[in-house]
Structure 1
Amino acid sequence: MTEIEFQHYLSTAIKEYAKNKIDAGTWTNENAFKNANASFKELLPAGIKTANTFFYSITFQADTVGYIWFASYRDNPLMAFIYDFKIYDNFQNKGFGSKALQLTTQEAKLKGFSSIALHVFGSNKRAIHVYEKNGFTTTDITMQKKL
């Protein structure tokens, strides 16, 4: 991913992350954007040049079909953690997600990681299906009940 692509990514990713956290009931509308912005600043203190952080644009022919960001997990440096991954809507259900995960797994292995992990919102059934199909298994579950 280029610096220009990264800046475009950031302009939408922080807002999208805040919305996902609101939809999941984790954050309130009042503090979601502030929390999302703080999370990105903590994870990316040097932006795209943050050490042990890897951003890729996913392309097919002349089209950018999505992106993926993974980095060394702060609690376990031998684990690569996928912090963000998206295949744009008009390119979904065409195998791009599975192929991107396969290539990311290979890349993480080449970089010396022994495992790869990610977080997925429980309501994202499509993503869960793709991750399970590509060998990811559940390690933790957070559950919530509306009152």
Structure 2
Amino acid sequence: MLKIMPMSPNHFQKYMDFAVNEYATEKIAAGTWTAETAQKNSQLTYDRLLPNGLATPDNFFYSIFKNSEIIGYIWFGTDNENASTAFIFDFEIYKTYQNSGFGSKTLELVSNEAKNMGFTSLGLHVFGSNSRAIHVYQKSGFNITDIKMQKQL
């Protein structure tokens, strides 16, 4: 049985250690940041978004459980441009559990959770090179709202 539960402080610290590095790596791969600045930029981004860590208001961190085992995480919060929209800042199903429908099911659980909190829509960002995630999001009812493009010179 799949369920989401509020993230424990211990899991949050492990998540933060991983997430800052992962975000820097993704931004380098996307061509947005250089290898020299990525780690610092990533840490600054997380510090800005989460000045009080797990206790930052309007941010919700969940561990994703299959039975009693954590198989991923999801972080969403109030969108800074529209308070009625919940925005997924980060979401991952661990590699071992991918391609089993857990991503789609988690999005359904989070949609219900956000709706119960009073949000009227759910948004997210996905890197253009992440075709697997794009497929899952579109299958789950997400539509493209903006496209940012870049050309290498």
TM-score range, shorter chain: over 0.9
TM-score normalised by L of structure 1: 0.98
Query: Matches of residues 31-46 of structure 1 in structure 2 within 5 Å?
Result: 31-46=37-52
SS of match in other structure, 1:98? helix
- Greater relative CO, 1 or 2 (CA 8 Å, sep 6+): 2
Q: Distance in 2 between matches of 1:9 and 1:39?
A: 15
- Once the two structures are superposed, residues 3-39 of structure 1 have per-residue CA deviations (whole angstroms, 9 ceiling, x without a partner) of 0000000001000000000000000111111111011
2:101 matched residue in structure 1? 95
Is structure 2 residue 80 aligned with structure 1 residue 50?
no
Is structure 2 residue 92 aligned with structure 1 residue 86?
yes
SS of match in other structure, 1:143? coil
% same residue: 54
Structure 1's consecutive aligned runs of 4 or more residues displaced over 3 angstroms after TM superposition are none
Q: Structure 2 residue aligned with 1:104, among 89, 106, 110?
A: 110
Unaligned runs of at least 5 residues, structure 1: none
TM-score normalised by L of structure 2: 0.94
SS of match in other structure, 1:142? coil
- The size of the alignment, in residue pairs, is 147
Q: Structure 1 residue aligned with 2:8, among 2, 5, 8?
A: 2
Unaligned runs of at least 5 residues, structure 2: 1-6
1:134 matched residue in structure 2? 140
- Once the two structures are superposed, residues 33-86 of structure 1 have per-residue CA deviations (whole angstroms, 9 ceiling, x without a partner) of 111101101111110111111000001012211000000011211110000000
